[in-house]
Amino acid sequence: MYWVYDLPTWLFGALTVIVFVAFGLAGLYLLRGWVQRIDNGHHVYNHIVGFFLAGVTVLYAVTAGLLAIGAWATFDQVQGLYRDTIAYPEPLRTTMQEDLRKYTRQVIDVGWPMQRRGIIPNNASPLLSDFQEHFMTFGPQSEGQKILAEETYRAFNDLTESRRARLNSIDAEMPGPLWTLVIAGAGICIAVTWFLNTESFIMHVWMTVLFSALLALLIFLIAVLDNPYRGKISVSPEPLERVYQQIMSPQK
């Protein structure tokens, strides 16, 4: 199903809505006559169906809401780490800043296109190793320099942890059984609406369309967050690009 991540965002969302709405309307048209015969025109079962529908949808909403959690990149670590290097003496300052510039460009130009194809990029690891090696050569001579070194070390650890979380999320996805639960649960919620017997069939149609579309959008959201760095509907490197342009570019 990875081909859906190659679609434009609007098309993926529209297809999801169309499929669920079509399912809802098909079931409504097929069961409308049967439900009317059972109810015999008295609408006595509507309150029972409504009570059951409320319970099912609340349970499904809680389950789906817990699953709609994605990993999103933060770029504060790169920015903070680069600013910390400004206080280092030359020539170490220039060397460390150059390491971070190379790392940032490597992530933007090489790593991000790879992870959009589902490939875990390891091309930037040597650049981080170079930065760490250069950083470890610094021997603080004063209390201020010790504090600076501690802050830089903390920022570097935050950066590596953020990078590890990003790489782990590339191939980490929701298991198949959970996807079965999500889709089957949506189908059950829609199916319950078929047992309502309304006097206005047009109103019933619109209720089914809107309810099916709402569930479709929720599943679309889960699908997008399930692979936040993959395909066209993914987290972009624009914030990292802004960090580079604002404080890292050589002309700054």
Whether the upstream peptide bond of residue 237 has omega within 30° of 0, thus cis, is: no
> In whole angstroms, what is the distance from residue 189 CA to residue 57 CA?
6
Contact 79, 247 (CB under 8 A): yes
Q: What is the dihedral of CA 172, 173, 178, 183, to 10 degrees?
A: 180
Confidence (pLDDT) at 18: 95
pLDDT higher at 232 or 45? 232
DSSP string of the chain? -GGGGGS-HHHHHHHHHHHHHHHHHHHHHHHHHHHHHHHTT--TTHHHHHHHHHHHHHHHHHHHHHH--------HHHHHHHHHHTTSPTTHHHHHHHHHHHHHHHIIIIIHHHHHTT----TTHHHHHHHHHHHHT----SHHHHHHHHHHHHHHHHHHHHHHHHHHHHH----HHHHHHHHHHHHHHHHHHTT---S-HHHHHHHHHHHHHHHHHHHHHHHHHHSTTSSSSS--SHHHHHHIIIIISTT-
Contact 176, 226 (CB under 8 A): no
For 80, half-sphere exposure in the C-beta direction (CA atoms, 13 angstrom radius) is 14
For 86, half-sphere exposure in the C-beta direction (CA atoms, 13 angstrom radius) is 8
pTM of the model: 0.59
pLDDT higher at 76 or 240? 240
The mean-pLDDT minimum among 8-12, 24-28, 86-90 falls in: 8-12
Other beta carbons within 10 Å of 203 = 11
Query: What's the mean pLDDT when you consider all of the chain?
Result: 76
The predicted-structure confidence for 133-150, as pLDDT tens digits, reads as follows 888 888 888 888 888 888
Q: What percent of the chain has pLDDT over 90?
A: 5
pLDDT for residue 29 is more than 60: yes
pLDDT for residue 108 is more than 80: yes
- What Å distances lie between residue 166 and 80, 82, 151, CA to CA? 18, 20, 23
